[in-house]
Structure 1
Amino acid sequence: MIQAANVRSRSRVRWWVAGLMWAAIAINYIDRTVLSAAAPRIQSQFHLSAVEMGVVMSAFFWSYALLQLPAGFLADRFGQKKVLGFAVVWWSLATAVTGLANGFKSLVALRVALGVGEAGAYPSNAGIASKWFPRRERATVAGIFDSGSKLGGAIALPLIAAMLTAFDWKLTFAITGLLGLIWFVVWQFTFSDSPRQHKWVNAEELAHIESDALTGQHDGARPSLRQLLKHRNIWAMCIGFFMINYNSYFFITWLPTYLVKARGMTMMEMGWMASLPLLASIVVEIFAGWASDRVFASGKLSLTATRKLFLVIGLLMASSIGFAAFAESAWVAVLLLCIAKSGTTVAASQVWALPGDVAPRNAVSMVAGIQNTVSNLGGVVGPIVTGAIVGATGSFVPALLFSSALIAIAIVNYLFLLGKVEPIGLDGTATQPQAREHSHAP
């Protein structure tokens, strides 16, 4: 009875924090998706080839991928509040001025600037999750904040399509840039790096968080990049997420053009149809994170088996992108793309829990940055490769089949290269905390 009373009286500030993390990612993706929704108009206005448009779409990822590790290091060093707050302001301003682009070169430069700011989002969120949530809630919160990427894209596509019908595309960038500035004000007044420092967190919630969270940010020496790269799990996380992101970013780069040019949709039809895979994946990702946490908490599967099970289920779903290439009906193609995108998010709910599972306690954002650096190389090469394949063959079919083949590689990677999911020691080995793999204390 006493335990039940404590649970009832527990504050729930950590879920407010999860909401702020979700909102940051949603705005992040609204701002990066605007270009994709406007791509047919921009390509026509500036007379860009398919390859040039692919370069413009990938330019964001050049800086975004390269700055993941520095962003993670800075978040661990100076705190996620400062780093994420600064990042949101930077990328919001970069978005607002994108409407000033006047051709290929300026579009590339402004997309690179956008990537500089957005690099701080995911590494910071991974670090926040490790300090604000116990391990048995970490896949749930990962599913929540990463689902913001799908809602951001889903909102942007029909909204931008409607604005393109009524207004010039340049105004859209200025309006969307304001969203992050509003978020920043709320963030400054309602978030603190540590639950212990937050005035709204009561003793019961703090005990719950610290029962299984990485609460000590500066325990011991911070590991170097070389020390982290000695561990095979870091490599498996990077390789697998590269394959996932190659597929995932098709939905926010080439999907609108695919629906217009390959499936013959109008701009408004494209806006709604392109949003369906993203909307479906929101529900699926949150459910997958919650379900995996319930499976792990039940004690029926170890943390390692739970992570691998949900990764493989998600990737099998993601392979549907190859079947979409042969669908005769546009509706069937969209349905298969919904399944494929949902599959990438099932996997993502585990992918974003892994840094908190394996990283030394003072380097979670850094490990997340390493993983996201490599994964976003998929965002760099994906749009270019897709554009090159479409340009060479005049068809999206081989491009979608190639994406499906990469998913098969990801499955093999997570099954065999990813080892036991447990914290990494500074010498590159795994630590062996007592009952770490099977601890499910309430």
Structure 2
Amino acid sequence: MASRYRLVLLLWAMQFVNYLDRINISVAAPTMMRSLSIDAVAFGMVLAAFTLGYALMQIPGGMLADRYGAKRLLVCAPIAWSLFTGLTGFVQTLTALIAVRLCFGLAEGSANASLYKLVGDNFASRERAAGNGVWQSALAIGPAAVAPLSAWLLLEAGWRQMFFWFTIPGLLISVVLYFGVPSRGEIVRDAEPIAKDLSSGWSGLFRRPGTWLVMLGYMTFNMGYWGFLGWMPGYLALERHLDLHALGYGASIPYLAGLVGLILSAWLSSTVLHRYRPQLIAAGYLAAAVALYMTFNAQSLSGCLAYLCVAAFFIYGNFPPTAAVLLDVGPQKGRGTFVGIANTFGQAGGFVAPLVVGFVVRITHSFAGGFAFMVFALVCSALSFLALYPYVARAKSSAWVRGEV
């Protein structure tokens, strides 16, 4: 048990650095838009370029992890994404910025399936929400930490130098992972996999409605999530008129609420509610949708931040049970590839979200339509996961293990 949690703590450190590099551009958005003379639609294209690259590498990254082991991907990916983080500081045109962010997405996307694969290979079904919850907490802590740090660097050194400084953590974490993550044959595999293997081929898996419900739910969730993640700092600056110093701290508050939601959900979905993960996910996304609606309609800045905290609490709170459901439905012998396929669908939603929000902001000069889009997407995701419950229940049965359903 101790060795497995040491492993996920290393994955936590990697994801913390990952999100430092991923979210700093959202904090720098207003400054970069002025410096490069680009509008909201153009910056939406920049955000979408990352998610496109991230999506394109999900399946290849998963296949490589299944074939060669996850460690190689985990060590090489931070070196590559750190290179493109630094190159972001050199760009002079919109085209160059889009190209660099596309490559940055390719680099980060190459290792994503490896994280899930290691948890799926080393944790039993009931433990997977907790195992994933450990490293996924970095998805909330990272953005919370990067907001004030990025704002400080922007004020002290400018946005270009900010990206130069952010190359350092990725290079350091690559060294840590090289020495800390066990080689493929050394990991203790004491989990008890329950998912059906690939003896009947991928076609049988994709004939199951449950597989498509997972992918639809994951795609629509990412529409809401990446709209929230990519545009929240810009919304606070452009619509709520927070200055740069206040933005750094104001933008970090919802992520701290998200961390609380993630920890609570990881515990619930690994203990008393582990049999009801799809219902827990559905309830969380419906609550997040309501919170985003209330965010836009809040009359005061404090009310806006309070509702953003509620939205983050439920959005991040759904990470552990969603990851556990994904691993339960997927095949034991192809977890990396299956997660890669599911994440490709998910990132397709992430690609669309910043483009839609940016387009709506430019046309209407308001974030109202963007919030409506995110709310609708989260409701669709909730319905998809709610419909998934019978299939997850079957995945946990002996009949599923024998391939009889």
Q: TM-score, normalised by structure 1?
A: 0.85
Instruction: Report deviation, 1:430.
Output: 9.2
* 3-state SS of 1:54 partner: helix
Q: 1-side partners of 2:398 and 2:33: how far apart?
A: 50
1:7-156 equivalent positions in 2, closer than 5 A:
12-156=2-146
Change (3 A) 1:211 1:85: closer
1:297-341 deviation per Cα after TM superposition (whole angstroms, max 9, x unaligned): xxxxxx5x4212210221122111011111001111111111112
**1:123 Cα offset (Å):** 0.7
The equivalent position to 1:260 in structure 2, one of 237, 248, 264, is 237
Structure 1 vs Structure 2 CA RMSD = 2.4
Shift of 1:157: 1.2
Q: Would the alpha carbon gap of residues 268 and 251 (structure 1) be closer, same or farther in structure 2, given more than 3 Å must change?
A: farther
Letter in 2 for 1:197: E
1:357/1:422 contact within 8 Å kept: no
Instruction: Structure 2 unaligned segments of length 5 or more: list them.
Output: none
Partners of 2:77 and 2:111 within 8 A in 1? yes
Take 1:267 and 1:430, find their aligned partners in 2: how far apart are those partners? 56
Amino acid at match of 2:48: S
Q: Deviations over 1:127-163 (max 9, x none)?
A: 0001222222100121222221221111111110111
Match of 2:400 in 1: 432
Whether contact under 8 Å (2:198, 2:334) holds in the other structure is no
Aligned to 2:38, the other structure's residue is in SS state coil
The change in CA–CA distance for 1:239 and 1:142 in structure 2 (over 3 A counts) is same
Q: Provide closer, same or farther for how the CA distance between residues 246 and 122 of structure 1 changes in structure 2, counting only shifts above 3 A.
A: same
Please tell me whether the aligned partners of residues 293 and 371 of structure 2 are also in contact (alpha carbons under 8 angstroms). yes
Distance 1:362 1:39 in 2: 42
Q: Secondary structure at the match of 2:92?
A: coil
- CA drift at 1:110: 0.4
1:358 aligned to which of 316, 319, 329: 329
Q: Distance in 2 between matches of 1:82 and 1:350?
A: 27
Q: Is the 8 A contact 1:126 1:355 kept in 2?
A: no
Would you say the 8 A contact 2:195–2:328 is kept in 1?
Answer: no
Q: Say whether 1:309 aligns with 2:279.
A: yes
String of CA shifts for 1:168-219, please: whole Å, max 9, x gaps.
211111221111111111111121255x625xxxxxxx5xx62524799xx7
SS in 1 for 2:55: helix
Contact 1:88 1:184 in 2 (8 A): yes
The number of residue pairs the alignment matches comes to 401
Contact 1:314 1:345 in 2 (8 A): no
Match of 2:251 among 271, 274, 277: 274
C-alpha deviation, 1:422, in angstroms: 6.0
Partner letter of residue 218 of structure 2?
F
Are residues 378 and 121 of structure 1, via their aligned partners in 2, closer, same or farther at CA, if it must alter by over 3 Å? same
Structure 1: runs of 5+ lacking an equivalent: 1-10, 199-205, 297-302, 435-442
Asked if 2 retains the 8 angstrom alpha-carbon contact of 1:68 and 1:372, the reply is yes
Aligned residue number for residue 197 of structure 1: 186
Residue 386 of structure 2 corresponds to: 415
Between the aligned partners of 1:396 and 1:125, the Cα distance in structure 2 is 34
Cα distance in 1 for residues equivalent to 2:198 and 2:246: 55
**Mapped contact 1:84–1:124 kept (Cα < 8 A):** yes
> Alpha carbons of 1:211 and 1:157: their partners in 2 closer, same or farther (altered >3 Å)?
closer
Task: State TM-score, norm by structure 2.
Answer: 0.93
Larger proportion of helix: 2
Q: How is 1:358-377 mapped onto 2 (pairs within 5 angstroms)?
A: 358-377=329-348
Superposed CA deviations along residues 271-310 of structure 1, whole A, max 9, x for unmatched, are: 11111111211121122011111115xxxxxx5x421221
Mapped partners of 2:70, 2:219: distance in 1: 24
Q: Tell me the equivalent position of 2:317.
A: 346
How far the C-alpha of 1:424 sits from its partner, in A, is 6.8
Deviation at residue 121 of structure 1 after TM alignment = 3.1
Q: Are the equivalent residues in 2 in contact too, given 1:222–1:362 (CA < 8 A)?
A: no
The alignment partner of 1:294 has SS state of coil
